[in-house]
Structure 1
Amino acid sequence: MPQEFEIVREFEVDVPPEKVWDAVTTGSGGYLWPMDPPEPREGGRGPFGSTVTAWDPPHRYTSRSEDVGSPTQSLNQLDYTIESRDEGRRAWVRYVHSGIFTDDWNNQYDGASKHTNFYLHTLCEYLTHFAPRPVAFAQLNGPAASATPRALAAAARALGLPDDAAAGTKATVRGPGGRTLDAVLDYRNPYFIGLRTDHALVRFFGRGHWGAPLGISVHDFAPDADADANGAAWQDWLNDVFGRP
C-alpha cells in the first residue's frame, strides 16, 4: 500500500555555505556519485529526470521526481536548506528526503534512513578534506554470497579491522592485492564502514540487511586517479572475500 515518508536531518559543517551549495549541485561525485547537474533555475531539469522546484543559491535547492521508475517508490523529493553561521565561516544544513514508497514500506524506510546518515557524513568528510578537487569515482557490488547481514563483518575482517576499532581511529587495512592502506576509520556501525586515506574516501555498504549484495564506492582525489583500475581492484578484493560469481 502506498505511504508517504519523510527523513529529516540537520547538521553544521566548518565550511562556507557556498562550498556546501557547490557540493550538492554540481553532480561531481565527490561524496555521492556522478550525476548531471541541475539546470540553474526553478522549473529546470534535475538529475535522473527530476524537476528543480526551488533554486536560490546558495540557500535552497529542491528537486522532485514524480516518475521514479522504481517498483517500490512513486515519488521522490530532495530538499536542501543552507544557512550561514559564524559570519560565513560555517554552514548549517537542513536536508529533507521525502516521497512515497509503494511497497515494503518499513524495510524501504529503514534502508533510506540509515543510508542518509552515511551519505551526509560522507558529504561532510568530502567538504572538510577534499572539496573541490576533481574525483575519479568507482562503484561496485559483491557477489550474491555477500547479500547477507553478516557480510559487512566479513569485509571488516578481510580489511584487518579489529572488532573494537571505533570511528575516528587510525587504521592500517589490507586493500586490493594485499596492499596496505593507512586510513582513518571515519565511520563504523553494523551497516556501513567508511575509510579516509590521504587521497580517497572508500565506503562499504552492508546492504545485506536489506537483501542486497555488499557494495563499495571509491571517491579518489589523487591527480593520477584511475576509476576503472580502482573499480577492478576492489571488485577482485570483493570476489576474493565472498567467492567468484
Structure 2
Amino acid sequence: MSKEFEIAREFEVDATPEQVWEAITSGTGGWLWPMEFEPRQGGAGPFGSTLTNWDPPHRLTSLVEDVEGISQQTLNQIDETIEPREDGRRSWMRYVHSGIFVEDWDNQYDGADKHTDFYLHTLREYLTHFAGRPVAFSTFDGPGASVTSDAFAAVGRALGLSDDTAEGARVQAQGPDGQVLDAVVDYRNPYFIGLRTDNALIRFFGRNHWGAPVGISVHDFAADADAKRNETAWQGWLNGVFSA
C-alpha cells in the first residue's frame, strides 16, 4: 500500500554556502555519485527530476513523480536549504527527502532513513577534507551471496576491523591485492563503514539488511586515480569475501 514519507536532517559544516552548493550540484561524484543539473528553475535534474527551486547558493529542490528504475517509489523530492553561519565560512544545511513509497514501506523507509545519515556524513567529510579536488568515482555491488544476514559482518572482518573498532580509530585496513590502507574509520555502525585515507573516501554499504547485495563506493582524489582500476580491484576484493 502506498504511503507518504519524510526524512529530514539539519547540520552545520565548516564550508561556505558556495562550497556546499558546488558540492551538491557539480555532480562529480565527490561525495555521492555523478549527477547532472540544468542550472535553472524548471531545468532537468537527476533521475528525470525537475528543479522546482534553483537559487544558488541558498536552495535546491528537485521533484520527480515516477522514479526511473525504482518501482517502489512514485514521488520523490529532495529539498536542500543552505544558510551562512558566523562570518560566512561555516554553513547550516537542512536536507529533506520526501515522497511516496508504494511497496514494502517499512523496509524502504528504514533503508532510506539510515542511508541519509551516511550520505550526509560523507558530504561533510568531502567538504572538510577534499572539497574541489578532481575525483574518480566508482560504485558496484557484491555477489548474490552478500545478501545473507551476516554478510556485512564478513566485510568488516575482511577489512581487518575488530567488532569494537569504533569511529575515529586509525587502522591498517586490508584492501585489494594485499594492499594495506592507512585509514581513519570515519563512520561505523552495523549498516555502514566509512574509511578515509589521505586521498580517498571508501564507503561500504550493508544493504543486505534490506534484502540487497552489499555495496562499495570509492571516491578517489589521488592525482593518478583511475575509476575502472578501482572498480576492478575492489570488486575482486568484495567477490573474494563471499567466494568461500
Alignment TM class, shorter chain as reference:
over 0.9
* Structure 1: runs of 5+ lacking an equivalent: none
Question: How far 1:204 moved relative to its partner?
Answer: 0.3
Q: Which residue of 2 aligns with 1:154?
A: 154
Count of aligned pairs: 243
Code of the aligned partner of 1:57: P
Measure how far apart 1:148 and its partner are.
2.0
Following superposition of structure 1 onto structure 2, how do residues 173-212 of structure 1 map, counting pairs within 5 Å?
A: 173-212=173-212
Q: What corresponds to 1:111 in structure 2?
A: 111
Separation in 2, partners of 1:232, 1:203? 16
Question: Could you tell me whether the CA contact under 8 Å between 1:149 and 1:207 is conserved in 2?
Answer: no
1:178-216 alpha-carbon deviations (Å, 9 max, x no partner): 111000000000000000000000000000000011000
Kindly report which structure 2 residues correspond to 1:163-182, keeping only aligned pairs within 5 A, or say none: 163-182=163-182
User: 2:81 maps to which residue?
Assistant: 81
Number of the residue aligned with 1:137: 137
How far the C-alpha of 1:169 sits from its partner, in A, is: 1.1
CA separation in 2, counterparts of 1:98 and 1:153?
Answer: 31
Deviation, structure 1 residue 97:
0.3
Report the Cα distance in structure 1 between the residues aligned to 2:4 and 2:164, rounded to whole angstroms: 38
Aligned to 2:56: 57
Cα RMSD after superposing both structures: 0.9
Equivalent position SS for 1:78: strand
Alpha-carbon distance in structure 2 between the residues aligned to 1:158 and 1:48: 34
For residues 41 and 138 of structure 1, what CA distance do their matches in structure 2 show?
28
CA distance in 2, matches of 1:149, 1:114: 17
Output the CA distance in 2 between the equivalents of 1:173 and 1:158: 9
Gaps of 5+ in 2: none
Cα distance, 1:149 vs structure 2 = 2.8
1:83-112 CA-partner distances (Å, limit 9, x unpaired): 000110100000000000011100000000
What SS is found at the alignment partner of 1:132?
coil
Amino acid at match of 2:21: W
TM-score by length of 1: 0.98
- Whether contact under 8 Å (1:61, 1:81) holds in the other structure is yes
Tell me, in whole angstroms, the C-alpha distance in 2 between the residues paired with 1:104 and 1:231.
31
1:5-48, CA deviations, whole angstroms, 9 ceiling, x for partnerless residues?
A: 00000000011111000001111110001111x11211111112
Number of the residue aligned with 1:43: 42
Distance in 1 between the 2:52 and 2:125 partners?
28
Q: Which runs of 4+ in 1 moved over 3 A?
A: none
The worse-fitting range, judged by mean Cα deviation, of 131-140 and 63-72 is 63-72
Q: After the TM superposition, which of the residue ranges 45-54 and 90-99 deviates more from structure 2?
A: 45-54
